[in-house]
Structure 1
């Protein structure tokens, strides 16, 4: 009945993801929902209700209804989105409505054959480790019991008042309009190109900026196959069409959102992709210099060394965490941080929900351009004038699953004293990082869901980045 649940369901840095039909099945979604329901009941959060949303992937709305039916059967009221929508809309709605938590059916940036089950805490943030641990404990109980979760579907749930279908987008957009001066943006005369990557963010920039704004959007239609890209992740290799569009249309900037619109990619006026490390550093400069905000910055290990330099310049603390916004959000909350972010292109902001949001990040970037009168390449030059030039690249190396243990063993044993003629410090905050004396760094992280090794490097020149990555491949033996 349940397809190999013990091995199939494992929560990673941001929820559980599985291959549709093999692992990600209606039965497995149901037992995840049942485990989450038990957690909600034991903590009393069931009384506050749950908000459920979904993205544009294959059967996402049906999986969302299945999760709602299980929660309804447990007596938990569910507000279910009437349409595919960005993950940050659910996150903000949980916080705004003071709900007990949220569920988003999405695999974010994974290839189209995947789907996922994300849990949001009552703060709207990715559920922290302690919540996930308790949900997983209930999951083990359910599997051991061979428990078949009951469901209360559709009309029956609605008649009992346990299920409410609602459009959650309008209230979210009203909130964003309070964070950014939209009327001012509408007078800038910018020409922008948007790539929604067939995802849940389609149409939102148009709704915010208005029908008369000079905006051209590509890949706005739903297509669960995500054609023309390996996956709906807004990185350089997937944005060739947007880059060409910016150049052809003589646009001032290009903005891309991933499958569930919690990550953003930015292309400058010359059609050149800005790395996520550059973008986060630029957003930090915007908040610190243009908006004059003060407060901590929270970065994951894979983000830029430019951020500590900005922290020193503007006298604000910078905290570093492992990868995963579930590690970033608690520190943002504790420190009242102005910005938190990941190398993935996901950034969260003060006075908003403590979760990644590509839509507000895009609006802030447009406001940065408007307030300074600078185009993206000029903003980058301004940043470099303060912290020096920094270049970054990441390569994803696929390997045979049978080689995983050997690769990880080589990385665990690797401890070079020098790289590129410089002394090296090694740390294992998340993966294996080697920091050179000039601040350049090389990092290895293995994916928890795929046979994939991610190799990252940041340095003062593109040539140095390339050399570090080649050295990294030799160290890992891939």
Structure 2
């Protein structure tokens, strides 16, 4: 019997260190598990879209997956070039495929890669589908899977970027944006979103300046290609130097968005989603609910009341948000990590589309990003947010998890505990319209601590109490 590798699908697929657990053998095993699940569910004839990003070896890993799927009689459609994860999601729908597989570790550090599975809706595969795939994977790795005979299927290479760009133009009217005379700086963070926004907006009076657009699997100048404040200093400085109107950042696989305003000041992801909510439901008049994770801002709840829209909270991960959007006919969905989805597109995060939506908000309102944020705070009151990621050794995982599961304080940071939600770690709803969440990351060995309060003093007190409570 083989030694079984440590392969576990978390909140957004399986991720591992390249050359350790992320090997060709293990990637092929995951591909075989997808194939066996499609055969068992009688969907093998629909085929699979296979995509890849700019990380080390991604294209070769993707090729290995197509070879595996083809050997089980499943046709494949593979990207011709590295492209965003949302391009894979859209292509699943466009090709009428049963699944999509995207080789990417999203915003993780350079030494990581990953294996994401998309459903036939284009969204992240639902938890129950992942459970079935993992069951097949267990049998493959243990050498107990039944023998399957199939004729060799074909692999088709297709132009992914052109079809994806045309889809973006269908979802949002880009002509007013193209002719807005705005000056926009786009930071592609050396990832697979490079060139997308300039191509969408080419041909008008708008000026798009792209930085860090060269593919580079080392992601130089940053710990990881995540669009958070510390990683976006080059974007902020370029916005100031060029006297630009806004800075837009896309993460490593371009499914997440970061925003800096005209002064180069970073907006939190909670502020960005709240601004997009106000735009989508206010200016655009969209109706329907809002699907978001337990780590999303309470500003969304206040906005939803203004627009008569219900809010559906989920555990962290778009594998929960996407299905919730579908089940409840939601107009939009979002998570704290900067991933946002909109009706009319696939129920999955899309950084480029989110950036276009933000530009549309500026044009329709006639306001700069800082003015939009001031208007938001006038509407819902002041909110400040902070997330802290604490690395831990595997030996401490159980102890930390036990402390999270048993935590039930009367107050945190001087704020009274009003209720708890334990669907994913624990969310503490506190007095003074505040909240906090502590949970283990589903993609990295990190303890994540989140909190939102009306002021910095309360925020610091909440974080200090939580770290003391968890001994981290």
SS of 1:232 mapped into structure 2: coil
SS of 2:461 mapped into structure 1: helix
Distance 1:28 1:304 in 2: 38
Note the C-alpha offset of 1:173. Answer: 1.1
The answer to whether residue 166 in structure 2 is matched with residue 174 in structure 1 is yes
Deviations 1:408-448 (A, max 9, x none): 22223321112333320333121122221212112111123
Residue in 1 aligned with 2:243?
A: 250
- Structure 2: gaps (5+ residues): none
Distance 1:164 1:307 in 2: 43
SS of 1:444 mapped into structure 2: strand
Query: Would the aligned equivalents of 2:54 and 2:191 in 1 still touch at CA under 8 Å?
Result: yes
Note the C-alpha offset of 1:405. Answer: 2.0
Distance 1:225 1:421 in 2: 43
Deviations 1:197-233 (A, max 9, x none): 1100001011001166411111101110111111111
The answer to whether residue 80 in structure 2 is matched with residue 82 in structure 1 is yes
Q: What is the aligned length?
A: 470
Taking a change above 3 Å as real, the CA distance of residues 264 and 151 of structure 1, as seen in their structure-2 partners, is farther
Please give the root-mean-square deviation of Cα atoms over the aligned residues, in Å.
1.9
Residue in 2 aligned with 1:443?
A: 437
Residue in 2 aligned with 1:207?
A: 199
SS of 1:435 mapped into structure 2: strand
Distance 2:22 2:147 in 1: 16
Note the C-alpha offset of 1:381. Answer: 1.1
The answer to whether residue 452 in structure 2 is matched with residue 458 in structure 1 is yes
The answer to whether residue 30 in structure 2 is matched with residue 38 in structure 1 is no
Distance 1:297 1:450 in 2: 27
Deviations 1:35-71 (A, max 9, x none): 1100011112111111100000000000000000000
Distance 1:335 1:307 in 2: 17
Distance 1:108 1:136 in 2: 21
Residue in 1 aligned with 2:190?
A: 198
Query: Would the aligned equivalents of 1:411 and 1:475 in 2 still touch at CA under 8 Å?
Result: no
* 2:47 corresponds to which of 46, 49, 53: 49
Which is worse superposed, 404-413 or 358-367? 404-413
* 1:321 corresponds to which of 314, 317, 340: 314
Taking a change above 3 Å as real, the CA distance of residues 29 and 161 of structure 1, as seen in their structure-2 partners, is closer
Note the C-alpha offset of 1:97. Answer: 2.2
Residue in 2 aligned with 1:105?
A: 103
Which is worse superposed, 467-476 or 57-66? 467-476
Distance 1:85 1:219 in 2: 15
SS of 1:319 mapped into structure 2: strand
Residue in 1 aligned with 2:128?
A: 130
SS of 1:8 mapped into structure 2: coil
Note the C-alpha offset of 1:139. Answer: 0.8
Distance 2:147 2:456 in 1: 54
Note the 1:41-440 alignment, pairs <5 A.
41-145=39-143, 162-210=154-202, 213-424=206-417, 425-440=419-434
Distance 1:14 1:405 in 2: 22
TM-score (norm 1): 0.95
SS of 1:12 mapped into structure 2: coil
Distance 1:407 1:16 in 2: 22
Taking a change above 3 Å as real, the CA distance of residues 291 and 433 of structure 1, as seen in their structure-2 partners, is same
Query: Would the aligned equivalents of 2:404 and 2:426 in 1 still touch at CA under 8 Å?
Result: yes
Note the C-alpha offset of 1:76. Answer: 0.5
Distance 1:278 1:49 in 2: 39
Note the C-alpha offset of 1:250. Answer: 1.1
Note the C-alpha offset of 1:146. Answer: 6.4
Which is worse superposed, 212-221 or 139-148? 139-148
SS of 2:218 mapped into structure 1: coil
Distance 2:117 2:413 in 1: 43
Deviations 1:335-360 (A, max 9, x none): 21111010010001101001000011
Distance 1:326 1:356 in 2: 11
After TM superposition, the runs of 4+ consecutive aligned structure 1 residues lying more than 4 A away are: 146-152
Query: Would the aligned equivalents of 1:70 and 1:149 in 2 still touch at CA under 8 Å?
Result: no
Note the C-alpha offset of 1:406. Answer: 2.1
* 2:18 corresponds to which of 17, 20, 36: 20
Distance 2:127 2:404 in 1: 25
Taking a change above 3 Å as real, the CA distance of residues 373 and 44 of structure 1, as seen in their structure-2 partners, is same
Distance 1:169 1:180 in 2: 17
* 1:471 corresponds to which of 449, 465, 471: 465
Distance 1:423 1:367 in 2: 40
Taking a change above 3 Å as real, the CA distance of residues 147 and 137 of structure 1, as seen in their structure-2 partners, is closer
TM-score (norm 2): 0.96
Taking a change above 3 Å as real, the CA distance of residues 282 and 148 of structure 1, as seen in their structure-2 partners, is same
Distance 1:7 1:447 in 2: 20
